[in-house]
A and B are shown apart, each in its own frame.
Chain A
Amino acid sequence: MTSTPEDRARLGLRESATFDRATIAAIQRAAQTGIYDIRGWGAKKPLPHFDDLLFLGASVSRYPLEGYREKCGTDVVLGARNARYPLHLDIPVTIAGMSFGALGANAKEALGRGASETGTSTTTGDGGMTPEERGHSKHLVYQYLPNRYGMNPDDLRRADAIEIVLGQGAKPGGGGMLLGQKVSERVAGMRDLPQGIDQRSASRHPDWTGPDDLTIKINEIREITDWEKPIYVKVGASRTYYDVKLAVHAGADVVVVDGMQGGTAATQEVFIENVGIPTLAAIPQAVQALQELGVHRKPDGVQLIVSGGIRNGADVAKCLALGADAVAIGSAALIALGDNDPKYAAEYEALGSAAGFYDDFQAGLDPAGITTQDPELQKRLDPAEGGRRVANFLRVLTMEAQTIARACGKAHVTHLEPEDMVAISIEAAAMARIPLAGTSWVPGWNTGGAF
């Protein structure tokens, strides 16, 4: 028998760390098909992440707030720098941009419902704004993407904020694709494309390049919308320090930084796993840029939203402690909706996957009815019930972040600071610029030593 790891160990069978079974399968797949692998989700390889940070709870030198009794604020104001109507969110967790096209209309509506119930924002994507989403979203961020599918000034005016997208963490420097099986009549109509074709999303904006042009573009959108709405700039994490500086110089009110664990609906596996930097490494770079420009954590400053692999309230608290003003969730929100639910185990198996592993969001066959345009599959997702689950999840994230903030003696979750944390790996210490636990050593940033 060689069916279990124990059986194989007993026989002395040894798997190569370099050519592990997933690698062997990838080579076999490439040899068979002659085309690279396209999938959804974000980077799956192990990366230094928030799990490598811990909080220092209060004790003698700091005193805590009373758990779930004492007030610990969670509200956040975004975009007060230039906009007549900044966003006032009740919680610092927002829903990241995901397109109608990548997701079905029920999923978009459910995300809007969940966000609205908890007083936070949701975001459109590379497919335009749907009435379902606008109707069920109290705060809706309208993405301005290179392809401008469905882009129009009426929706710009209907939006609560506008997010100019330069990239996303799963594929900084890459465009996108929506394979034909998801280009339904409605999706095609919104994107001015023939139905059923494989659709390419551009990697570059069609009418501007570089930071000086971006300044003029931001000004154009402000002029079109009469300076009413906050303008975000979203970048995939790569040269984050420079990108954030340039975005702020160009006039961004809010900068969104998406790390490589951030999800996508359809990108080449090689791109997802090998381009971009981990979220943990991006945040301190962004914060440093904002601090040097004097706009970090100021009422008329520039807010930082971080996304890419945020899964629980501890991750939220760690992002805020590192200097983010808010976070955005995408993959976690889809899981809350029912993505990879074990109740569909048999159907995932039938698709050659398994519950907990399914990432073929490009295929449009999602058993959970989320990343599909198939009307029958979509019926499996009730938008009201989905919205309730998303709202529940957002509440838990917020309560968990508050729990940690109170333990650190903070009356507002955004009062958390780097000083409240230590790192438990050298990599995380260096990337997050947080001392290794039990030392004052921040690799690459000080010479270290004893307390």
Chain B
Amino acid sequence: MTTTFDLSAVGLREVNQALHAPDLDDEFLIENPLGAHNVAVGVNAPIKVTVNGHLGYFAAGMNQQAEVTINGNAGQGVAENMMSGVVHVTGSASQSAGATGRGGLLVIDGDAGARCGISLKGLDIVVGGSVGHMSAFMAQRGTLVVRGDAGDALGDSLYEARLYVRGEVRSLGADCVEKEMGPEHVQELAGLLKAAGFADDDPATYRRYGSARTLYHFHADNTY
């Protein structure tokens, strides 16, 4: 059963409350979001949510289990701290997409702004286009795949997250270095590209970046 909400007619609270009801397994359609913030946040059910239009900040924030499709652009912090499930933005996303995400898959068909995957903690992010500066800043775990280019200071102060970029990297951040693509990395990347709907990409055309691990221990040489 599909339930439809017209966000130009009902309040955000009503929509999110309905998405938080116990034992949900239905489909939901949200029309006319008009850039609203905090749509479909805190969902914890194996449901499908489709949003037709652009969203504001924190769309699908902290998502658990749900498959959320945003047919439009998403504002700042889309899928922030998501735990599981899939969030798919068919347009572009603003800054801090997937910030601190801990699990699941975030797919952005278009570009993502600055700080994409900042403080990543286990989420996999696939960006169809390019990402802005400081992406994967302090990223701890998880994966960021960029089919286009990456802006300045990619992976600054990176921990154990893995970054794959097909296009040009404008500059690498502190302690981020290019690393060899082993067979396990090709396999991982191929799997993510397939899951994100980009199965035709050849993983061999990507380069891998990770932490040089020189900032892991605080000493006089890396303090300024």
Contacts and interface: CB of A to CB of B under 8 A. Distances in A.
A200 B157 contact: yes
Contact of A207 (B20, B44, B100, B219): B100
Contacts of A207: 58, 76-77, 80, 96, 99-100, 118
B172 to A, nearest CB: 18
B220 interface: yes
A148 B102 CA distance: 10
A200, A207, A219 pick with most chain B CB within 10 angstroms:
A207
Interface string B74-113: 0011001101000000000000100110100000000000
Contacts of A224: 41-42, 61-62
Nearest to B140: A192
Given A207-B96, A208-B57, 6 more contacts: A197-B159, A216-B37, A220-B38, A223-B16, A223-B38, A226-B17
A152 interface: yes
Nearest to B59: A220
A206 interface: yes
B129 interface: no
B218 A179 contact: yes
Interface of B: 12-13, 16-17, 20, 37-38, 41-42, 44, 56-58, 61-62, 64, 76-77, 80-81, 83, 96, 99-100, 102, 115, 118-119, 121-122, 137-138, 140-141, 157, 159-160, 216-220, 223
A25 to B, nearest CB: 19
A226 B56 CA distance: 19
B42, B44, B115, B138 pick with most chain A CB within 10 angstroms:
B42
B28 to A, nearest CB: 15
A225 B56 CA distance: 19
Interface stretch (A4-12, A30-38, A432-440, A442-450): A30-38
A194 B16 contact: no
For the complex of A and B, the 6 pairs showing the least CB-CB separation, nearest first, are: A224-B42, A207-B77, A34-B220, A207-B99, A207-B96, A197-B216
A208 B41 contact: no
B216 A194 contact: yes
A217 B140 CA distance: 23
Contacts, number: 105
Given A202-B138, A207-B100, A213-B57, A194 B62 contact: no
A207 B115 CA distance: 9
Contacts of B216: 180, 194, 197-198
A147 interface: yes
Contacts of B115: 206
A200 B119 CA distance: 11
A193 interface: yes
A223 B13 contact: yes
11 contacts: A35-B219, A147-B100, A148-B121, A152-B83, A192-B140, A193-B159, A207-B58, A208-B76, A219-B37, A220-B58, A224-B61
Contacts of B61: 220, 224
A250 B56 CA distance: 17
A33 B220 contact: yes
A424 interface: no
Nearest to B101: A148
Interface of A: 33-36, 147-148, 151-153, 156, 177, 179-180, 191-194, 197-198, 200, 202, 206-208, 213, 216-217, 219-220, 223-227
Contact of A208 (B44, B77, B81, B138): B77
A304 B198 CA distance: 52
A148 B57 contact: no
Contacts of A217: 57-58
Nearest to A177: B218
Given A152-B81, A192-B140, A194-B159, A220 B57 contact: yes
Nearest to B83: A152
Contact of B20 (A198, A200, A226): A226
A202 to B, nearest CB: 6
Contacts of A213: 57, 76
A147 B119 contact: yes
A408 B36 CA distance: 52
A35 B119 contact: no
Contacts of A219: 37-38
Contacts of A227: 13
A192 B80 contact: no
Contacts of B118: 206-207
Nearest to A179: B218
Nearest to B61: A220
Contacts of B217: 180, 197-198
A35 to B, nearest CB: 4
A216 B44 contact: no
Given A148-B119, A194-B216, A223 B41 contact: yes
Contact of A216 (B57, B119, B220): B57
Nearest to A218: B38
Contact of A220 (B41, B137, B159): B41
B116 to A, nearest CB: 11
A180 B42 CA distance: 33
Contacts of B56: 216
A350 B95 CA distance: 50
A206 B58 contact: no
Contact of B62 (A33, A34, A153, A180): A153
A147 B159 CA distance: 13
A153 B223 CA distance: 35
